[in-house]
Amino acid sequence: MTTQDTLERIQKIEFDIIQKIDSICRAHNLTYFAIGGSVLGAVRHQGFIPWDDDIDIGMPRKDYEAFLRYASEELPEGYFLQTFHSEKKSPFYFAKVRKDNTKFVEYYLRDLDIHHGLFVDIFPFDNVPDNAAVRKLHYRLCRIASHLYLSKSLTTVCSSRFERKDNYKGIVRKILHIFLLPVPKALLFRLLDRSVQMFNNTECKEISHIVRKRLRIRLEDLYPIIYLPFREMQMPVPNNYDAYLTAQYGDYKTPPADSKCYGHLPYCIEFDSQEELK
């Protein structure tokens, strides 16, 4: 179990990372916005949810691609931009900015030889078609492409708390992993990349990190982005955060029961032995 001291150290480093991301975005006029629990933290706690151990942000596709270009050159020493292009073993279809000389090993990734430093997640957001039937088909196509891409790298499935050995999804992933051994990972990445961006030249009312249905947000709820205090910085959040958080969590103003107050529960956490806590 993560101790309070450990959690505070995790949050301190992740806050440092988001400040580095924010600096690059401001320098190049790039749009980003908090999503999920990071919005909830800004609204309800003016910072992290007390038991949370991550920060998640989204970027419109054009800003995301621009950020990857700038960050690869401008992140200070000691930080690593993890993408498919910078680390071929990375299983993610999104970016992570990680802190060198630290570890936050997620349980299902424990056997994967990648950079496991503490991180902030950055999700690309693409257009979601307005037509319900087309939207459903598009989502299914993207999910299939995503499962193929993930199965190329992994034999395990993501679980924030437990890994069930009898989980049929894990069995399917192991089978797919074997089946995909001769298939180049770059081919699967291109398939997924083209699938999720299929409607980016079409006018739409919503955007999303396509393979995660719950991340959908209406443009009218997102823009104009506003800023709320998040520790010592101003965090960009959806303009209509009330509608967004209600759709995500229901009664988001009432804290959950203690039994539901947990983070990722990682497999391994390590800090830089030379780090001086301030």
Q: Which of residues 260 and 85 earns the better pLDDT score?
A: 85
Please, which pLDDT band fits residue 199 given cuts at 50, 70 and 90?
very high
What's residue 269's pLDDT?
A: 94
Q: How far is CA 164 from CA 154, 156, 161, 173, in A?
A: 15, 10, 10, 13
Task: Of 171-175, 200-204, 246-250, give the range with the top mean pLDDT.
Answer: 200-204
**Percent of the chain surpassing pLDDT 90:** 80
Beta bridge partners of 120: 97
Q: Evaluate if residue 278 carries a pLDDT over 50.
A: no
Beta bridge partners of 193: none
Distance CA 242, CA 224 (A): 14
What pLDDT, in 10s, does the model give residues 144-190?
Answer: 999 999 999 998 887 555 555 556 778 889 999 999 999 999 999 99
What's residue 277's pLDDT?
A: 40
Distance CA 114, CA 117 (A): 9
